[in-house]
């Protein structure tokens, strides 16, 4: 799928970008070029130490900001596939710096789309978040806007051979700023701060997130928002799994935070299809493909009207034991209770 292709990853020095690079190199040894586009020269230099140019000549380290349309256009020259992972994603950061969040997450998305259209790119997949579903914080609102922009981009491609789609998933186990590394860092203090004892979250590994993007690249018609069927966990179970001897302290839900996360609302069910191991929200307005064409292409069926996908009412759950195994596998190989 990616052999002999040039791939651009915006935000390529983040947790997802690093795992995506690792996966491409292992699965597609004949990839022509991987362009790592980000604005952090320190992270790029650190990544270059892992992938020195002598051993990995297919990697390119491109300093730039998705807010800069001309710079992203330069980076897209000759590119076949774009993975758009760049974002301001810390909820509290976005609440305090709203304009910066809008410029990166919405204007940046527009810039990526226009660069892709102008440079002859074939496939564009953007990363989203469960916080874009019925958003209550600015970060989620900007990602919902970004999702809509990418889905609608298929309607303005004209005769160009290009497809845009989105992947949406929940908390990535072990990613920067996520709860498990935070709890691990707090173990020595003997107290774990818990926002709310009933809080739940969806759970996905970095590798599963990368695999979902790979699926989208190879299977999208354009306009879909792909959502994996993944388990939930209870925040108290995470605390028991990581640090059973620690006390817990309820500190209250932070501004812009939900008790349970959502990935599909009842209203979304009108445009949602079931692919077996994942869902796809179809574009509400599409001049490219009909619902029947999406159903046939994905061998899918429509979800029942009123269906919703919520971390608190999920049918699949992680246990304390399964969480411990996952922490050891995906977060810290030296982890012991």
Determine the Cα–Cα distance for residues 21 and 58; give it in Å rounded to an integer.
11
- Residue 134 backbone class (left: φ over 0; alpha: ψ -120 to 50; beta: rest): left
* Partners of 59 in beta bridges: 34
Name every residue whose Cβ is closer than 8 Å to that of residue 127 and which is 6 or more positions away in sequence. Answer: 16, 83, 84, 85, 87, 166, 167, 209, 213
DSSP code string of 166-188: EE---EETT-TT-HHHHHHHHGG
Residue pointed to by tokens 């230099």: 45
Backbone phi, then psi, for 28, in 5-degree steps? -130, 75
Cα angle for residues 102, 217, 62 (degrees, 5° grid): 55
CA angle 59, 64, 68 (to 5 degrees): 140
Catalytic residues, by residue number, are 131
Q: Which of 137, 192, 163 is nearest to 82 (CA)?
A: 163
Among residues 152, 172, 134, 91, the alpha carbon closest in space to that of 264 is found at 134
């Amino acid at each position: 799928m990616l052999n002999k292709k040039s791939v651009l990853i915006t935000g390529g020095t983040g947790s997802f970008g690093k795992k995506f690079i690792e996966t491409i190199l292992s699965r597609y040894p004949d990839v022509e070029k991987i362009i790592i586009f980000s604005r952090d020269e320190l992270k790029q230099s650190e990544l270059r130490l892992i992938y020195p140019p002598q051993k990995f000549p297919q990697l390119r380290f491109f300093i730039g900001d998705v807010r800069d349309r001309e710079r992203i256009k330069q980076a897209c020259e000759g590119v076949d596939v774009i993975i758009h992972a760049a974002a301001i994603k810390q909820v509290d950061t976005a609440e305090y710096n709203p304009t910066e969040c809008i410029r990166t997450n919405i204007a940046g998305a527009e810039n990526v789309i226009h660069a892709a259209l102008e440079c002859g790119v074939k496939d564009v997949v953007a990363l989203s978040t469960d916080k874009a579903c019925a958003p209550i914080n600015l970060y989620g609102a900007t990602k919902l806007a970004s999702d809509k922009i990418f889905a609608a981009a298929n309607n303005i491609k004209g005769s160009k051979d290009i497809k845009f789609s989105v992947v949406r998933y929940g908390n990535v186990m072990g990613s920067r700023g996520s709860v498990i590394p935070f709890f691990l860092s707090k173990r020595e203090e003997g107290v774990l701060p818990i926002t709310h004892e009933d809080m739940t979250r969806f759970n996905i590994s970095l590798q599963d997130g990368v695999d979902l993007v790979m699926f989208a690249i190879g299977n999208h018609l354009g306009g879909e928002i792909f959502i994996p069927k993944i388990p939930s966990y209870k925040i108290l179970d995470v605390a028991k799994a990581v640090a059973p001897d620690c006390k817990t302290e309820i500190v209250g839900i932070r501004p812009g935070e939900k008790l349970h996360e959502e990935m599909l609302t009842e209203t979304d069910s009108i445009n949602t299809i079931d692919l077996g191991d994942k869902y796809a929200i179809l574009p509400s307005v599409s001049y490219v493909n009909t619902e029947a064409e999406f159903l046939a292409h994905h061998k899918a069926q429509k979800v029942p009207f009123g269906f919703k996908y919520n971390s608190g009412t999920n049918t699949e759950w992680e246990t304390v034991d399964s969480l411990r195994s996952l922490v050891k596998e995906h977060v810290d190989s030296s982890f012991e209770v």
